[in-house]
Amino acid sequence: MHVVVASHHRLPVEGYGGPQRVVVALVRALAALGHRVTLLAQPGTKVAEAAKTVEVAPRLLKDATVDLKKFLPDNVDILHAHFPLKQGPQGLPFVQTLHSNWKPDTPLPPNTIFLSRDHAARHGSTAFVYNGLDPAEYIYRGRKEKWDLFLGKLHSDRGYQWAVDAAKRTGRSLIIAGGWRPSFTGGIKYVGEVGGKRKAVLLARARCLWMPAQWDEPFGLPTIEALFSGTPVLGTKRGALPEILTPEVGAISATLDEMIKAAHTIDTRSPEACRARAERHFTHLKMAESYVRMYEAMTKCGSLPAGRPAD
């Protein structure tokens, strides 16, 4: 297929990123599977080894009413946007991925694909594709250090304060990596926002990753980054986390007290099991194959099939 992937960011992203890294992973995986890929993105984008890039001004990419047809090459089979579109180019099948949560009762744009079964269900749909990343970007390590890790935005909805409170109550060492400049004391170390090799090293060495989400995570990208690293995850019963984590690779809790209790035995999980689950369900190639299934259904039937949940 000839797939046009559209993002309103400059790619690859500097720093941690999120949806931007998923888009790059998708573009590269589609190309690896033998598909022709054209990427619409902001000027300065460089993913040349996997796709032909067409640069589009940011103001146009962020306009939900813009007609992208004038930017498209010939012989395109489908457009896959990673930002909201009220309508696609005339005569061309299109889909779009929602990377966030929309407010209840907000009309959804057409042909929307979600990031998990829970994400889809909360928006009245069954169409979803799990995010995926390239396992080669992560360091697998079976032997872990004695400190825990929190990785992500230091916002209340990410629940970082739970990780802090747990460290203070138990005396366990905690490293916090995220964008902001808080002040911590004792066994809590703040290292700022991390990316690339430094992030991979932290994930590989950590005893466990804390994902104490206080909102309904559409997916929770750090979760699979930890699993690729052989690192188990402590999560809450919010959003997609119960879909991603099984008892073999993590623990799901409803309260901070439950999470602290689970933290005592989280390191009994097998690093090999963590890596195996990520490789089975959450690679960039697995994600691309699932999206191709969506593309084929849209081009042949004009509708999206239900997603396939991880077992």
Those residues whose C-beta lies under 8 Å from the C-beta of residue 31, and which sit 6 or more positions away, are 37, 49, 50, 51
**Average predicted confidence (pLDDT) for the chain:** 94
pLDDT tens-digit profile of 61-86?
A: 877 777 888 899 999 999 999 999 88
Same fold, 2-133+284-301 and 135-281: yes
CATH superfamily of 2-133+284-301: Glycogen Phosphorylase B; (3.40.50.2000)
Which CATH fold would you assign to the domain 135-281? Rossmann fold (3.40.50)
CA nearest neighbour of 290 among 172, 145, 120? 120
Strand order from edge to edge, sheet including 233-236: 188-190, 174-177, 148-151, 209-211, 233-236, 250-253
Question: What tokens does 230 get?
Answer: 């052989």
What average pLDDT score do residues 190-215 get?
Answer: 95
8-to-37, 86, 90 alpha-carbon distances in Å:
16, 15, 20
- pTM, to two decimals: 0.95
What average pLDDT score do residues 229-240 get?
Answer: 98
What average pLDDT score do residues 150-164 get?
Answer: 91
Local confidence band at 16 (pLDDT 50, 70, 90 cut-offs): confident
- Predicted local distance difference test score (pLDDT) of residue 210: 98
Backbone angles phi, psi at 253, to 5 degrees: -130, 155
- Predicted local distance difference test score (pLDDT) of residue 213: 96
Q: Is pLDDT above 80 for 160?
A: yes
Q: Is pLDDT above 90 for 183?
A: no
Local confidence band at 113 (pLDDT 50, 70, 90 cut-offs): very high
Q: What is the domain partition of the chain in residue ranges? A: 2-133+284-301, 135-281
Q: Give residue 77's region: left, alpha or beta (phi > 0; psi -120 to 50).
A: alpha
